[in-house]
Amino acid sequence: MGRTAIVTGASKGIGLSIANNLSLDGKTVIGIARSDPEQDFPGLYYKIDLENDTAAVEALADIVAKHQVDILVNNAGYSLPASAQDTTLKDFDKQISVNLRGALLCSQAVIPGMRSRKFGRIVHMASRAMMGKEDRTAYGAAKAGLVSFSRGWALELGPAGITVNTVSPGPIQTELFLRNHPPGTKKYQDLVESMPVGRLGIPEDIAHAVKFLVADEAGYITGQTIHVCGGMTIGAPGI
């Protein structure tokens, strides 16, 4: 049976890789992001700012009215590193809004249809930063909140055939990551050498985990967090 998936934050990086992977797996993909995609998108695409509550709710209602959405991947995220002392309320609110409020809005849009069809897959995108990382006060808290969403919603939605899980990436070589960790630098090499698997991740590593969790056959997995981190959340070798 063909499934339809919404992927948020789908314009580039991990979100675009997830969209491409799901499309290759036979899913109909609907991308959502604030900006145009950086390359050809493998499906329908909507420019939606999830921080604009009224416009976002209306746009999402229009999407679910036209499409039977079986899968939602809440990948849209935003991070503005700052220490606890230097985190402003404005920056805190923006990170909570994009990472948590956006996921809630999208989920509320698709859950009624999933309930009526007795099938649904929701995947939230967290981050290793939620395990503890300097200068990630707001971002880490927001990503930890997505794990709480998954655990609570798994209990609420399980009887309706809807699973809710979280994927938590470690260091992934996106454009932004490579800009901050240029290959060939000591910063980049030190990080590679600290990884138990001896390499950094690529967006496709995350996409494979998502594809597994949204499969029809994954209906007995819910409320879980999968750390796709090369072993980083266990600890660096020798420590």
Residue 183 to residues 36, 136, 196, 200, 206: CA-CA distances in angstroms?
27, 23, 19, 11, 20
95 Cβ neighbours under 8 A, 6+ residues apart: 78, 79, 80, 138, 139, 142
- Count the helices and strands in the chain (H runs, E runs): 8, 7
DSSP H helices, 48-100, are 53-66, 89-96
Task: Please report the sign of the dihedral spanned by the C-alpha atoms of residue 115, residue 10, residue 27, residue 17.
Answer: negative
157 Cβ neighbours under 8 A, 6+ residues apart: 111, 114, 115, 120, 122, 163, 164
Catalytic annotation, pick one of 78, 139, 188, 220: 139
Our answer to whether residue 78 is catalytic in this structure is no
Cα 196 to Cα 17: distance, rounded to the nearest angstrom: 24
The residues carrying an active-site annotation are 139
